[in-house]
């Protein structure tokens, strides 16, 4: 589904990402962890063609993402609040995204109805602009917007941050259901080792831009990750 080959990203003399080979198959729930500056956001930005690779390439269903836009119809994401349009209400934003992804108002309404519990009465019908919602409710809107249009690949950067415990639990169920029932390939980065372990079939650990662990999740995975981060000589730097 997704292939990373000899990818690197360098700013001046600073190489922030260097991965020789990484494959993510269709339907896998893929977790990405690492300390600040490990390269997580850089990798996701390359996957979404937000930045250009210094060397190598990433292909999605055989399409090199930095050479063609043909991957966009089946790929969706929510990285941060900059993906939102603050002067729109949530409803206006959802319909706008739906229009971009070939969905009519009824299609969007049908999808939103599935997430009433997740919204918890705090997003829809509030007569507020997105910019006036709390960080947590902005994140809820952005995450659900990434589900519009039946994407085959969904990329979520730190989706659990700023969410209350109830919403975090509901989001974990949503992510697991997407990959299990719909064969959607879900990529999640998170600093929360417990959450990412619970939703991921596989976890890759980045350190200083390189893959240092690639784990199929099991009952022992959380302990293995905690031991690794507690005892390893991991250096952090500012990620571009």
Residue 237 in this model has a pLDDT that exceeds 80 = no
Contacts of 33 (CB under 8 A, 6+ apart): 40, 189, 190, 191, 193, 196, 203, 204, 205, 206, 225
Calculate mean pLDDT across residues 34-63: 94
Give the pLDDT band (50/70/90) at residue 179. confident
The burial of 73, by beta-carbon neighbours within 10 Å (0-12 exposed, 13-18 middle, 19 or more buried), is given as middle
Domain positions in the chain are 2-231
Quote the pTM value.
0.91
- Of 234, 236, 231, 195, give the one whose Cα is nearest residue 32: 195
Read off the pLDDT of residues 99-148 as tens digits, 9 standing for 90 and up.
999 999 999 999 999 999 999 999 998 999 999 999 999 999 999 999 99
What is the overall mean pLDDT for the chain?
92
What are the pLDDT digits (tens) for 51-82?
999 999 999 999 999 999 999 999 999 998 88
Q: Which CATH architecture has domain 2-231?
A: 3-Layer(aba) Sandwich (3.40)
Decide if pLDDT at 199 tops 70: yes
CA-nearest of 13, 33, 47 to 234 is: 33
Which class for 65: exposed (0-12), middle (13-18), buried (19 or more C-beta within 10 A)?
Answer: buried
């Amino acid at each position: 589904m997704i292939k990373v080959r000899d990818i690197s990203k360098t700013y001046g003399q600073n190489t922030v990402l260097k991965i020789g080979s990484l494959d993510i198959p269709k339907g896998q729930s893929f977790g990405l962890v690492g300390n600040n500056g490990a390269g997580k956001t850089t990798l996701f930005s390359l996957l979404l063609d937000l930045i250009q690779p210094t060397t190598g390439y990433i292909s999605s269903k055989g399409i090199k993402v930095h050479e063609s836009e043909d991957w966009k119809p089946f790929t969706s994401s929510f990285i941060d609040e900059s993906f939102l349009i603050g002067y729109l209400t949530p409803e206006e934003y959802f319909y706008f995204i739906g229009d971009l992804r070939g969905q009519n108002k009824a299609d969007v309404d049908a999808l939103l109805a599935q997430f009433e519990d997740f919204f918890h009465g705090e997003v829809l019908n509030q007569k507020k602009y997105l910019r006036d919602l709390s960080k947590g409710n902005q994140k809820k809107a952005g995450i659900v917007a990434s589900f519009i249009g039946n994407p085959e690949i969904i990329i979520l950067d730190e989706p659990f941050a700023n969410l209350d415990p109830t919403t975090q639990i509901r989001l974990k169920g949503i992510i697991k259901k997407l990959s299990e029932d719909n064969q959607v390939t879900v990529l999640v980065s998170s600093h929360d080792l417990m959450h990412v372990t619970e939703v991921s079939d596989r976890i890759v650990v980045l350190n200083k831009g390189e893959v240092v662990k690639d784990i199929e999740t099991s009952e022992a995975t959380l302990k293995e990750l905690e031991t690794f981060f507690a005892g390893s000589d991991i250096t952090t730097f500012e990620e571009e």
